[in-house]
């Protein structure tokens, strides 16, 4: 596997981690009353959609 592919895998993996961190922060904000479910739901849905797009990319680029 080339250096460029390894860089992409690393970048996409970091993105997946950042998405999970965002989701965690949104849930915490909701639970402590900083924001409402109505405000966080669209952001959680968008984050889930992005994650759904990233997973196959990481799998495709990962060495078998």
Q: Is the pLDDT of residue 12 over 90?
A: no
**Best CA proximity match to 47, nearest among 63, 30, 24:** 24
Whole-number average pLDDT of the chain: 88
Q: How far apart are CA 14 and CA 61, in angstroms?
A: 14
- pTM exceeds 0.85: no
Res 39: pLDDT: 96
Q: Is the pLDDT of residue 5 over 80?
A: no
């Amino acid at each position: 596997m080339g250096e460029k592919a390894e860089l992409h895998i690393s970048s996409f993996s970091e993105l997946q981690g950042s998405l999970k961190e965002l989701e965690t922060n949104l849930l915490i904000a909701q639970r402590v009353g900083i924001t409402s479910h109505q405000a966080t739901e669209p952001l959680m849905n968008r984050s889930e959609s992005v994650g759904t797009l990233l997973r196959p990319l990481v799998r495709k680029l990962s060495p078998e």
